[in-house]
Amino acid sequence: MGNKNKFSDFRVTARIDQVGIGDRIARIRSRSIKKEAKLQGLKMILNMIDLTTLEGADTTGKVQQLCNKAKFLHASNPELPTVAAVCVYPNFVSQAKKELEKTRIKVASVATAFPAGQSSMEVKIKDTKLAVDGGADEVDMVISRGRFHQGEYSYVYDEIAAVKEACGKARLKVILETGELGSLDKVRRASDIAIYAGADFIKTSTGKIKPAATLPVTCVMLEAIRDYFYETGSMVGMKPAGGISNAKLALQYLMLVKETLGNGWLSNEWFRYGASSLANDVLMQIEKQRTGIYQSKDYFSKD
């Protein structure tokens, strides 16, 4: 099924030292970044953002507007990098692919009955193939949290492995919806299951519930990625999503990635932000660093 390494008995994963995690996050939050390093970090963040529209009221016009924004950010200032991807529902993938065909921006799509994940395996596989057949470069799936809470870890593992197989060449991001998992120990267990089942990325949240991404949860997930890398030599990506709306917080995530995983993960191949509203604040901060003057929020589209 394309799984990386059989995690057959779902061994008892590392117990999480919540005090230790809290201390690490407090140190990250207390740090300041010098101007040149900050500007470099802001550009890096912009290049790691997945611009996203995932609403019931999405239309072809809204998807076109989002794709235009993704293209315009770079076209208006070639010194700026592009965003990493535009993420849409499966039925909009072919449109987004066409809109972005002359760019390096990838098209991502949610699947597997996003955001609740409450559907059959058959429907989830069809949903995934709809996205892939439309041309999606990446697929963001949600795990079956109900099955996870029932202790059916083998089911969760097998489902991820099956979706990974259905993805073909598309990269798979596995959403844990950490705000529903209940503890950092469960976040670690879910991370391990997703990684061993074949995830190319593990992702905190759908962005539809609170809390979404947090620094402590991200730290636990990064440690799971680190330990897997030490064991196998294989890299897995990370995507915090939801609740990251300003550049200051995004820079703290970047510092956490660097300290936990090293420079090898500091690219959009291995780290992403699921936070469309973040792009505007990053652009404002870049201009502040470059000119010393803040631009008005009205200069940027909200989509």
Among 50, 140, 192, 281, the one annotated catalytic: 140
239 in catalytic set = yes
Mode of pairing for the β-strands spanning 237-239 and 171-175: unpaired
**Helices 153-167 and 184-197: angle between axes, nearest 10 degrees:** 40
175's enclosing H/E stretch is strand 171-175
**Measured distance CA(32)–CA(125) in Å, rounded:** 45
Among 50, 173, 239, 281, the one annotated catalytic: 239
**Position of tokens 């029932």?**
150
Among 69, 71, 124, 203, the one annotated catalytic: 203
**Measured distance CA(8)–CA(205) in Å, rounded:** 26
Q: Report whether 51 contacts 87 (CB < 8 A).
A: yes
Nearest of 107, 161, 113 to residue 139 by alpha carbon: 107
**Measured distance CA(32)–CA(36) in Å, rounded:** 12
**Measured distance CA(163)–CA(136) in Å, rounded:** 14
Within 13 Å, how many C-alpha atoms sit on residue 42's CB side?
24
133 in catalytic set = no
140 in catalytic set = yes
User: What's the token pair of residue 279?
Assistant: 């792009």
Active site residues: 140, 203, 239
